[in-house]
Amino acid sequence: MLELIDGLGGPNGQVLAEALGLADIVPEAHAAYRPLVVDAMLFFLERLSPSRLTAITAEQLALPPTTQPTRRLGLLFRRCPTLHKLGQMLARDRRLAPELRENLQELESLEPTTALADIAALIRREWGHVAGLELGSAALAEASVAVVVPFAWRDEGSSEPRQGVFKVLRPGIEAQLHEELAIWSALGVFLEQRCAELGLPVLDYRNTLDSIRKLLAREVQLDHEQVHLARAAAFHAGSPEVIVPRLLPFCTARMTAMERIDGRKVTDSALPLGKRQQLAKTLIEALVAKPFWHPAPSAAVFHADPHAGNLFVTRDGRLAILDWALVTVLSKAQCVAVVQAVAGALTQDEATTVQAIETLGRPSDPTALRAAVAAGLRQVRRGTFPGFGWLMGLLDGLGTAGAIQFPEELTLFRKTLLTLTGVVDDVSGQISVDEVLIRGGLVQCYRELALRGMAPFDSREFGSHLSNADWFRLWAGLPMTAIRYWVETWRDLLKVGYPSMGGGV
């Protein structure tokens, strides 16, 4: 393992990559991308400050020679806040090897390593001494950028102490984060150049990584998180099965004080199968369905970091949604476009589906877009339900092919769905995200019936994002929809099932 130090930045740089098991991240189905992943990680490591790189290398050298590569990779991710966040995003992705997932899942909530004395000094510097406030004897958890410390205090006239937690940035974490984010800015250009050299599709890595970089920069903006927490608490106030921590009056721009919520990660709960299934449904309803179908006139706000370390089940069985540092917002127009794309697929209306997807992104290859939509509609005719999963798969294919560039918020929404789907699968693999989302949409449509009689014909100011005109077109177009299904299904059969007849048709 002494080769690790010599290998960094030199001709033997591959040694570190092999020791860390970087290639194991990439599933066999995407083996062609393994050199790209290895080169990207080396690009990142070699641009860290010498002191950080030396510390990372020393830690790797101190490990027993028999340490598994997946374990080494997990330890590396702990030392870099941006990689830590990446590991949390991937931790429940079943396309990865089980052993790698297991190591990455440790990143969801770590045992604290920051000295409590250092955290206490930070708290005193931020807030000073508060009469009747007593810090706990140990931190509760440590995340990618912050440490959570319990405390108790008494209100005036209260006989019993109240329990809360401080979320405080880890010492030195802001400098580390900013150093890494600068590397990510250069990484996109490197990836595009390396793809060309390796003969891989040259994707829009620059804009994708820039979107993620902006998202990660918000991790240390605790004053923004406090705004998100207050709004989320109000949004979910009417949901008895969901709890969001309340803010407490000790917050500053660099420190968040909130009520303490005891529980376990949703993936670690020992609930019976039926309750786990209900918990999985609650996860989807609270984090995706309710904000998407909410009748807000402007935008839908989503928790953008729904890894298992931020999702607890309390002792009384409620879902606690923690850590609101990262959110993403879909505009009303984007929500409308998503529904229009699904409606277009249901009615086999290629033009409507193409137009909706053009609203969601900036197409660079209209021919490829129409071909992808035609293939997607063919999937629907063969039995695939055109829900969110179908649409996101279609968008993924378009993005991978470079046929369309999606805005930051839609990229983050897709990342949110992927992360949440992995968590839901580990809570109860029998629950379909699409099923819960569609049911939520139907419930919202029912709630709107009384209001539709007074609404303008073309108004989409409903939680379903459908106007009366949209509904009229759907119902009036049923005969044409049936004809499209019949005609296109026969065309599919003639092309695939009866190739010998191709010349005579």
Residue partners of 286: CB distance under 8 A and separation at least 6: 236, 239, 241, 242, 319, 321
Q: Is the pLDDT of residue 489 over 90?
A: no
CB-based contacts of 370-379 (< 8 A; 24+ apart in sequence): 372/397, 372/398, 372/401, 372/403, 374/350, 376/345, 377/345, 377/348, 377/350, 377/353, 377/488, 378/488, 378/492
φ and ψ at residue 311, rounded to 5 degrees = -125, 110
| 198 shares a domain with 66 | yes
Is the backbone of residue 21 left (phi > 0), alpha (psi -120 to 50) or beta? left
| Residue 35 and residue 116 share a domain | no
The 3-class secondary structure across 326-345, one letter per residue, is CEEEEEHHHHHHHHHHHHHH
Average pLDDT over residues 494-500: 59
Six-digit token pair at 81?
A: 């806040």
Q: What confidence tier does 496 reach under pLDDT thresholds 50, 70, 90? A: low
Report pLDDT digits (tens) over 4-42. Answer: 444 444 433 455 666 677 776 777 777 888 888 888 988
Looking at the fold, whether 327 and 446 belong to one and the same domain comes out as yes
| pLDDT digits 0-9 by tens, 345-367 | 999 999 999 999 999 999 988 99
User: Which tens digit of pLDDT belongs to each residue from 106-147?
Assistant: 888 888 888 888 888 888 888 776 666 788 888 898 888 999
By residue range, what is the domain housing residue 182?
3-108+175-217
Kindly list the distances between the CA atom of residue 217 and the CA atoms of 182, 187, 472, in Å, as whole numbers in the listed order.
11, 16, 45
Query: 439 and 295, same structural domain?
Result: yes
Q: What is the mean pLDDT of the chain?
A: 86
Asked whether residue 157 carries a pLDDT value surpassing 80, the answer given is no
- In DSSP terms, 312 is beta-bridged to 265, 320
Number of domains in the chain: 3
Three-class SS state of 313: strand
* Residue 123: predicted pLDDT: 85
CA distances to 10, 13, 16, 258, 459 from 22, rounded to whole Å, are: 18, 13, 9, 38, 51
Among the listed ranges 51-60, 111-120, 121-130, 216-225, which one has the minimum average pLDDT value?
A: 121-130
**What's the CA gap between 284 and 424, in Å, rounded?**
8
The reported pLDDT for the residue numbered 437 is: 93
Structure tokens at 327: 């959110």
- Average pLDDT estimate for 48-54: 89
CATH number at residue 228: 3.30.200.20
Residue type, 38: V
DSSP 8-class letter at 496:
I
Contact by Cβ (8 Å): 489, 381: yes
Task: Quote the pTM value.
Answer: 0.87
Mean pLDDT of 213-234: 90
Tell whether 190 and 292 lie within a shared domain: no
Q: Which one-letter DSSP state was computed for residue 287?
A: I
pLDDT for 223 equals 93
- From 59-63, 272-276, 282-286, the region with the lowest mean pLDDT: 59-63
Return d(Cα 323, Cα 71) in angstroms, integer. Answer: 26
Same domain, 165 and 182: no
CA distance 101 to 97: 6
432-436: list long-range contacts, CB under 8 Å, 24+ apart.
433/284, 433/288, 433/388, 433/389, 434/385, 434/387, 434/388, 434/389, 434/390, 436/281, 436/284, 436/285, 436/288, 436/289
pLDDT at 499: 47
439 and 493 assigned to the same domain: yes
Residues 467 and 503 in one domain: yes
> Does residue 182 sit in the same domain as residue 91?
yes
445 and 397 together in one domain: yes
DSSP-assigned beta bridge partners for residue 327: 303
3-state helix, strand, coil in the chain (%, to 5): 60, 10, 30
- Kindly report, residue by residue over 124-133, the tens digit of the pLDDT: 888 776 666 7
Are 268 and 256 part of one and the same domain?
Answer: no
In terms of domains, do 92 and 225 share one? no
